[in-house]
Amino acid sequence: MRYEEISKAFLIEARDDVEMAKIACSHRKFSKAVYHSQQCVEKTFKAALVLKGKFISEHEVLTDFLKAYQNEFTPETIEEIVKDTPKLESQFKRVRYPLFGRVDLPIWVPSKEYTENDARDAIEKAYLIFDILSEYLKGKYE
């Protein structure tokens, strides 16, 4: 397999996603900004996992990443990566679809529910993870 090429491809797409998140936020499309931020984080983790020979099709990959890379980062860096990542990962379905499972609850409409603060927080987290991991991967594997 061409693990390095696949990893680079994931990082290219992750960067595009976080850039799209910024554009969406600037156009007040906050749910789309959160969506693209979540995608950036997911693809960045997958870029790292590919280099360990792991191909994950799930959208929540933090646990797999931690198993594969826990000993390669300082505890402080791991804490920085992990902080708020589960919250962002959990947005995968919420940000994409209206949720309407119970008649006693209002319909969740992502484009009406996410705020500018949600979008900015997600973008900041996406950039943080992308920057930490892409720099680490470049240094170790290039």
pLDDT score, position 124:
96
Residue 122 CA to residue 24 CA, distance in Å, equals 12
pLDDT of residue 84: 78
Encode pLDDT of 29-42 as tens digits: 999 999 999 999 99
Checking if the pLDDT of 96 tops 90, the result is no
State the Cα–Cα distance between residues 94 and 76, nearest whole angstrom.
30
d(CA 84, CA 53): 26
Q: For the chain, how far is it from start to end, CA to CA, in angstroms?
A: 16
CB neighbours of residue 119 within 10 Å: 25
Quick: pLDDT tens for 106-141: 998 999 999 999 999 999 999 999 999 999 998 887
Kindly report which listed range (7-11, 15-19, 105-109, 126-130) carries the lowest average pLDDT score: 105-109
Q: What is the pTM of this model?
A: 0.91
pLDDT exceeds cutoff 90 at 88: no
Task: Report the number of distinct structural domains present in the chain.
Answer: 1
The CATH number assigned to the domain holding 105 equals 1.20.120.330
What percent of the chain is modeled with pLDDT above 90?
Answer: 70
Its domain, for residue 49, covers 3-141
- In the predicted model, is pLDDT for residue 12 greater than 90? yes
Contact 15, 130 (CB under 8 A): yes
